[in-house]
Amino acid sequence: MTKVLIATEKPFAPAAVNGIREVVEGAGYELALLESYSDKSELINAVADVDAMIIRSDKATKEVIDAAKNLKVIVRAGAGYDNIDLEACTANGVVAMNTPGQNSNAVAELALGMMVFLARKGYNGKAGVELKGKKIGIHAYGNVGKYVANIAKGFGMEVLAFDPFVKKEDIEKDGVKAIDTVEELYSQCNYISLHIPANDKTKKSINFDLLNRMPEGGILVNTARKEVIDEEGMLKLMEERKDFGYISDIAPDCKDEFEAKYDGRFFFTPKKMGAQTAEANINAGIAGANQIVNYINNGDTTFKVN
């Protein structure tokens, strides 16, 4: 019998697991579950006999892919697939997929929620500031960026965006001002919301020079990946610009320095929380299950990323 594994170090909401089970068992397959595991050996043991797997930010390294001798398809229930060794997948004839757009609203809501939290000084009783009238720059206008733009407009913010892969007219039809260069975006905006993927080109690309272009009181909001930040440059900026703030969904490696020196100027989630809603789990998990069934039964490779 075809066996599908859900391997989630950070578990899905129960309703999402039920929904995945319905799809998988409805197709006549068997579902196995590995949740909240703490050691990679547990993952390696669990993949030994599976035909397909659904993961989140779980690290599907070469070691994991090589250990999954029957694996045909792996689906990252979410957008970013920087946690999957795509070369190992391709070398082993495994199709890797993501589920773009399925958890985007959840990530966007968290971005704005964290902005309000910092603007209101963590609700500490002191006077904060409002988002209305401020400029937000969307760095990469994909699924999450679009949702952030839309919610930000609801707050009365002015929305700008830079994305070299999206046509200017497609950005502007959403009532968002398309900006020609990344430097110009950072120079103009009080908030920057980051939505670039983590890859060889983007890692450490958000550096001191770029961030230092932001006007006084500038805040970087990172619901993308911590790896895209040049942390050395970020710390230099925090030191030199007492007005600057950083919000991130998952703490940077240099979190201890922030905690020691920059109280009130940052907020970090303890675990990656952007997509951690029942709705996002249901949308991404069930989409992943359907993609697996469609691939195994019909060879459908929509959303293949390798």
78 binds ligand 3PG (CB under 6 A): yes
Quote the least distance from Cβ 103 to ligand 3PG, whole Å: 5
274 binds ligand 3PG (CB under 6 A): yes
**Positive/negative CA dihedral, 248, 243, 201, 194:** positive
- Among the residue ranges 63-71, 135-143, 203-211, 269-277, the one whose residues contact ligand 3PG (CB under 6 A): 269-277
| End-to-end CA, the chain | 26
Question: Which of 95, 103, 214, 252 is in the footprint of ligand 3PG by CB under 6 A?
Answer: 103
Q: Which is nearer to ligand 3PG, 19 or 78 (CB)?
A: 78
In this structure, the dihedral spanned by the alpha carbons of residues 270, 273, 274 and 277, taken in order and rounded to 10 degrees, is -160
96 binds ligand 3PG (CB under 6 A): no
Which has the closest alpha carbon to 13: 224, 305, 275, 296? 275
291 binds ligand 3PG (CB under 6 A): no
Quote the least distance from Cβ 258 to ligand 3PG, whole Å: 21
Sheet holding 73-76, edge to edge: 30-35, 3-8, 52-55, 73-76, 95-98
Quote the least distance from Cβ 273 to ligand 3PG, whole Å: 7
Task: Identify whether the C-beta of residue 97 lies closer than 8 Å to the C-beta of residue 269.
Answer: no
Task: Identify whether the C-beta of residue 165 lies closer than 8 Å to the C-beta of residue 195.
Answer: no
283 binds ligand 3PG (CB under 6 A): no
Q: Which is nearer to ligand 3PG, 190 or 281 (CB)?
A: 281
Question: Which of 272, 277, 282, 303 is in the footprint of ligand 3PG by CB under 6 A?
Answer: 272
Alpha helices in 49-181 (DSSP H): 62-67, 86-91, 104-119, 143-154, 168-172
Q: Which is nearer to ligand 3PG, 79 or 296 (CB)?
A: 79
DSSP string, 35-52: ES--SHHHHHHHTTT-SE
Secondary structure (3-state) at 210: helix
Question: Which of 24, 47, 51, 57 is in the footprint of ligand 3PG by CB under 6 A?
Answer: 57
DSSP 73: E
Question: Which of 17, 159, 275, 282 is in the footprint of ligand 3PG by CB under 6 A?
Answer: 275
56 binds ligand 3PG (CB under 6 A): yes
Sheet holding 158-162, edge to edge: 177-178, 158-162, 135-139, 191-194, 219-222, 245-248, 266-268
Q: Which residue is nearest to ligand 3PG, using beta carbons?
A: 78
**Positive/negative CA dihedral, 106, 50, 198, 36:** positive
Quote the least distance from Cβ 285 to ligand 3PG, whole Å: 10
- Among the residue ranges 76-84, 176-184, 239-247, 292-300, the one whose residues contact ligand 3PG (CB under 6 A): 76-84
Q: Which is nearer to ligand 3PG, 78 or 137 (CB)?
A: 78
Which has the closest alpha carbon to 98: 52, 55, 50, 65? 55
Q: Which is nearer to ligand 3PG, 214 or 275 (CB)?
A: 275
Q: Which tokens hold the place of 68?
A: 């999954």
What is the spatial distance between Cα 71 and Cα 2, in angstroms, rounded to a whole number?
Answer: 10
80 binds ligand 3PG (CB under 6 A): yes
- Binding to ligand 3PG by CB under 6 A, coded x per residue (else -) over 2-41, reads --------x-------------------------------
**Contacts with ligand 3PG, residue ranges (CB under 6 A):** 10, 56-57, 78-80, 103, 272, 274-276
